[in-house]
Amino acid sequence: MVVTGATSGIGRAATAALAARGAHVLGVGRSLERCADAEQAIREIAPDATVSFLLADLASQGQIRDLAGAIVEHVADQGGGKLDVLVNNAGTVSSWYTATEDGYELTFAVNHLAAFLLTHELLPLLAAAPAARVVTVGSASHRRTRIHWSDIMLRRGYHVLRAYKQSKLANVLFSAEFNRRVARTSPVRAYVADPGLVNTEIGLKGTQGLARMVWGRRRLDGVAPIDGAKTVVFLAADSSVEGSEHLYWKDCRPLQPSRYALREDEAARLWELSARLCGMEA
């Protein structure tokens, strides 16, 4: 199993829980220090855990491709060449408009494009497994928003919440379209895990001022990461999910996402754009 954003918050809790259940987990993080820290912490809870960490900054498409290569090698070596679960958890929030090295807006690039690209790069591995799952960590924030087609990078009308909500909506649109396209040719299925309000540092790393203060207060009402990770772990590992037609889950139960998120035309349009932005041939 691969878990992105595995060094803190929901990702770290999910990695620990999955490893404790005996899964062979590859965690992905940006910082060498925090990867080592997370690995150590997990081994303390579950000394027999098979867990390793790979370094990659998902804001860079070059690094995502290198990461995929490293995962393919690792899985070929130690996983029989098949990947059972990919958890697209890494996410970010930014007070200000920031562009990645590829020139894409950071929130869109990390929260959506990274998941899109990584999933595609790992598709051969996922397809080799009997019934692989792609679990993307979404959010209730996907509701009451839309894709801003005329300025999708929000260059001219950037607002921290608008960027975040759009990216979470993109998570659902992507997962729905994935099932429509991929289901025809392979048994891989995508699910979206809504973790609810969770007390993590997501709103502290790239923000300042009001946004930072608001998250600092709001996070206190959230559950601990280990509880936020429940649905992620459930979707990744529980056998009852097998073959389920439900896309969006919260508290380990299916939930209806927003009507916009289920629109096939919007999903197809986002898919075409994302494929182009990730440099994939049509």
Partner 1 sequence: MKSYVLVTGATGGLGKAFVAECASRGWDLCLTDLREHALEALAAGTERMYNVHVLTRAGDLTDAASREALWRYVHDSGTRFHMLINVAGTDFEGGFVDRHLEELRTILRLNIEGTVEMTHRVLAYRDRTRPLRIINVSSLAGFYPMPLKAVYAASKRFLLDFSVALNQELRAGDVTVTALCPAGMPTTPDCVQKIQAQGLMGQMTTMNVGKVAHETINAALAGRSIVVPGWVNQIISSLGGLLPAPVVAAVIERRWRRARASLTPGGARPLAVRAPESV
Which one, 8 or 179, has the nearer CB to partner 1?
8
Residue 260 as a binder of partner 1 (CB under 8 A): the answer is no
- Beta pairing class for 24-29 and 2-4: parallel
> Cβ(228)–Cβ(198) under 8 Å?
yes
Residue 277 as a binder of partner 1 (CB under 8 A): the answer is yes
Residue 62 as a binder of partner 1 (CB under 8 A): the answer is yes
Using alpha carbons, select from 67, 80, 149 the residue that is nearest to residue 108.
Answer: 149
Indicate the Cα dihedral angle 55, 59, 61, 63, nearest 10°.
Answer: -20
The span of 14-22, 35-43, 82-90, 272-280 binding partner 1 (CB under 8 A) equals 272-280
Spatial distance between the Cα atoms of 190 and 127, rounded to a whole number of angstroms: 12
**Smallest distance from partner 1 to CB 209, Å:** 5
Sign of CA dihedral 236, 240, 242, 248: negative
Which one, 62 or 69, has the nearer CB to partner 1?
62
Residue 155 as a binder of partner 1 (CB under 8 A): the answer is yes
Sign of CA dihedral 96, 99, 104, 108: negative
Which H or E run contains 37? helix 32-45
Q: Which of residues 209-228 bind partner 1 (CB under 8 A)?
A: 209
Phi-psi region of 5 (alpha: psi -120 to 50; beta: other; left: phi over 0): left
Identify any residues that bridge with 99 across adjacent strands, giving them in sequence order: 105
When binding is defined by CB under 8 A, the residue of 97, 131, 260, 262 that contacts partner 1 is 97
Quote the tokens at residue 196. Answer: 């609810």
The span of 171-179, 192-200, 260-268, 273-281 binding partner 1 (CB under 8 A) equals 273-281
Residue type, 114: A
Residue 141 as a binder of partner 1 (CB under 8 A): the answer is no
Which one, 7 or 60, has the nearer CB to partner 1?
60
Residue 279 as a binder of partner 1 (CB under 8 A): the answer is yes
Residue 181 as a binder of partner 1 (CB under 8 A): the answer is no
Residue 58 as a binder of partner 1 (CB under 8 A): the answer is no
Using alpha carbons, select from 204, 236, 238 the residue that is nearest to residue 222.
Answer: 204
Residue 281 as a binder of partner 1 (CB under 8 A): the answer is no
Residue 92 as a binder of partner 1 (CB under 8 A): the answer is no
Which one, 97 or 260, has the nearer CB to partner 1?
97
Residues at the contact surface with partner 1, assessed by CB under 8 A: 60-62, 95-104, 153-156, 158, 208-209, 276-277, 279
